[in-house]
Structures are given as C-alpha cells and as structure tokens.
Amino acid sequence: MQQTLLALLALIITVFLSYNQERSMIHAKGAMIDAEMEVMASGVALQVLEFIGHGAFDEQTTDDAKVTLTSELTSAGSFGASGRCDVSAPIETTYPYTVCDDIDDFHQMVMEHVPFVLQSDTVFFDVTAEVQYVDANGDAATGATFNKKVVVTVQHAGLKQYLKTPVLLSRTFSYERMRRS
C-alpha cells in the first residue's frame, strides 16, 4: 500500500508540473504574438507620423509663407482642425488635405481601424495623436516654439486586444528644417 501511495503522490506532482509547463508555454506564445503585434504597430505609427509630417509646420506657414516670430504661430490651445483629420488611406473625403494641412491639425486625432495589410489578411489598429510645443531639449514648452512634438499611440483594434501595452512613437518637427529657402 505504501508504494501505491507514493506513486499516487508522484502522479499528483507530475500533474502540477505539467500544468505549470502548459502555463509557461501559453505565456511564451503570448509573448511571441505580442512581439509580432508590436512590429506591426510600429509600422503603423511610422506611417502615420510620415503623413502628419508631410504637412506644413503651422497654419501660418502653409503655401510657403514664412514666420520669423513664435508669436505668429498657432497657440497650443487652438490645436486641432475644425473637423476630424484623418491620415488613413483612402483619406476622408469630408476633411481633405486642404483642411488638414499642417501638423497641429492632427492634435487629438483619433483614427479607428487603420489597416496593416498582409497578403491574406489585415490587422487593424486604433491610432491617436497628440501635438505639443517643445523646447530645444525636447521638454514641453509653455508657449509657442519652433518645435512641435507629435506623439502617436497605436493599439490593436477589436474586442480582444492582442497588444498588451500600446505602442508610442514620437517625433519632433522643427520649423528650421522645414522652412523653405
């Protein structure tokens, strides 16, 4: 009887070991999926940043107009276009590029279901953008400066979010580099 009891004890321990192993494998596969989603989300974030940066630095600098004083720039409180700016392709016909033509028009932009197209499937992400003035050190500035920092946040769209933490990507656009000579 003793041997049977000891064998049963060994069986119980083995069942626990198997359970823990399955849990660690699920965790490892979750990490792999998370890594995959991060790369795709980074691609989406880069894409959105490129489209946002294509516009003029400020409303006052559209049509190649030049600005020499920071007081001429749009105040931070007025960031954001009158409508909803969207850089997803195809672009919203309601708010064409003639409206969303400078960087701060995309402040507090919310884009849902931005596609990352694969060959046989498409993964969708939700993207938000924040624009703020920053100083030469990249710190938030209280007033207008010739540097605007765009922070794009990308999260997997859908009821079940396979991206554990949203991907944040930021880029600072400087008027000095964007100014037309």
Partner 1 sequence: MIFHFDNIAATLISGVIVLMLVGMQMRSREVNIEQTAFVTAKGQALELGDWLQQDLGNAGAGVPINEQFIEDYEVDAVTENTKRFSFQRKISEADAAPTLITYELLEGETIVVKGDTVQLYQVQRCEGAATCPAGSSDVNGKSPAGLTYFRIDLLDENGGAWTAGTSNAYYLRIRFSITSSFGLSDRDHLRETHWGTVLPVRARDS
Which residues of the chain form contacts with partner 1 (CB under 8 A)? Answer: 1-4, 6-8, 10-11, 14-15, 17-18, 21, 25, 28-29, 32-33, 35-36, 39-40, 43-44, 46-47, 50-51, 53-54, 87-91, 96-97, 116-119
Pick 44 or 144: Cβ nearer partner 1: 44
Shorter beta-carbon distance to partner 1: residue 48 or 144 = 48
Residues, the chain: 181
Nearer to partner 1, 20 or 75 (CB): 20
Question: Could you give the 3-state DSSP secondary structure of residue 100?
Answer: coil
- Positive or negative, the CA dihedral 11, 12, 15, 21 is negative
The answer to whether 148 and 133 are in contact (CB under 8 A) is yes
User: What residues have CB less than 8 Å from 176, skipping those under 6 apart?
Assistant: 146
Closer Cβ to partner 1, 43 or 170, answer by number: 43
Nearer to partner 1, 21 or 75 (CB): 21
CA distance 130 to 110: 10
d(CA 43, CA 39): 6
Q: How far is the CB of 94 from partner 1 (least distance, A)?
A: 13
Please give the sequence-ordered ranges of beta strands (E in DSSP) within 99-166, or none if there are none: 109-117, 122-133, 147-156
Question: Which amino acid is located at 71 in the chain?
Answer: S
